[in-house]
Structure 1
């Protein structure tokens, strides 16, 4: 089945935001007298908003209601993005280039407010035909739900979609959805070897993401 769409992850694929998420969450946990753990950010990558708020409460010891935790973190992230969106070099050009040849979707673990803010600041809102947050489907990655929902919005079968991911949970999610999986790992948060092995293609950077790579 030929590939008709490319579905991007956002954090770690289009923007170098995982270090920003880590700093914001770390500082908030410390401020609230919680217990930050060295692998906390890696564990939260791919979680939905409700899931990472619960993790921060249950595992990191933030004694606040879940909606207060998530609301505070989202507001802090929005403030960071209003100051500067850390676009990965080549990402905007890749989206613009591929939008002329494929339908584009976005399947992100970020909440809709942050997705909209980032796409607006990068000038990419009109390039995506379908945008889904894990908050819209309830289950975060590695569940395939966010990818399946995005394919549904694009009116395509999962096998007609290529997913571009960077993280362990994202790669597992896209593979479980039955999509062609293209991995662009981030050196700061490399995916687990068994998750990376699920990718059909592994690239060094997003500049290498061409139509030929997508279609195989």
Structure 2
């Protein structure tokens, strides 16, 4: 049986991608960068600092450092989450179900650590999570398995007894590299993407989480 379920955050617990897009456009446009939709699609799965480096390579600016610009994006996202952050379908039910089953619950995200309490408190789900890990504290973000391995270690559960819940291919690859079982919950736009076929399970939303997803290989 699965002993721990480790969730991604952005796009899995909260539909924050539009907020990240809005924040990036606002911050980098103010620095003179032409933030096109096509280019912005490249930063969706990057860490915040990775996205800032990407935009700097597209159009170097004068003034704030790359890290300062990244921090400004995070601050903007935090404000947007507080204004309009809502849990995705099934999140509350899934967490309550896992808690009742006494399954350990963790978080492994590419998002900066300071955004974790903002999201969990805005959605009123912080009390479910025993461990929260950010790729900000790792050598490499997803698709590296580092953040998932850290979460499993802190939960004192072997990776092969963990189920990772992800909405992105990048996160799915990270979880698989960590030797975890995987549950993909892609957005409707990406649901039929061939790369999600490598997940052990796939759901349209977390409302479909059942005991069958907690059975190990």
Say yes or no: TM over 0.5.
Answer: yes
Separation (CA, whole Å) in 2 of partners of 1:21 and 1:53: 12
Separation (CA, whole Å) in 2 of partners of 1:62 and 1:185: 35
Q: CA deviation at 1:45?
A: 3.1
Is 1:169 matched up with 2:167?
Answer: no
Aligned to 1:146: 147
Aligned-residue Cα RMSD (Å) equals: 1.9
- List runs of 5+ in structure 1 lacking aligned partners: none
Aligned to 1:100: 100
Q: CA deviation at 1:152?
A: 0.6
> How does 1:199-210 map onto structure 2 within 5 Å?
199-210=199-210
Separation (CA, whole Å) in 1 of partners of 2:48 and 2:121: 21
| Cα 1:60–1:198 shift into 2, 3 Å | farther
Count of matched residue pairs: 214
Is 1:44 matched up with 2:43?
Answer: yes
Aligned to 2:18: 19
> How does 1:1-216 map onto structure 2 within 5 Å?
2-59=1-58, 61-63=60-62, 64-101=64-101, 102-188=103-189, 193-194=194-195, 196-215=196-215
Give the conservation status (yes or no) of the 8 Å contact 2:33–2:58.
Answer: no
Q: CA deviation at 1:190?
A: 5.5
| Cα 1:99–1:62 shift into 2, 3 Å | farther
Q: CA deviation at 1:188?
A: 4.2
Q: CA deviation at 1:137?
A: 1.0
- Secondary structure in 1 aligned to 2:14? coil
TM-score (norm 1): 0.91
Q: CA deviation at 1:84?
A: 1.9
Separation (CA, whole Å) in 1 of partners of 2:197 and 2:135: 24
TM-score (norm 2): 0.90
Give the conservation status (yes or no) of the 8 Å contact 2:16–2:81.
Answer: no
Give the conservation status (yes or no) of the 8 Å contact 2:78–2:118.
Answer: yes
Separation (CA, whole Å) in 1 of partners of 2:156 and 2:180: 14
Q: CA deviation at 1:189?
A: 5.3
| Cα 1:75–1:183 shift into 2, 3 Å | same
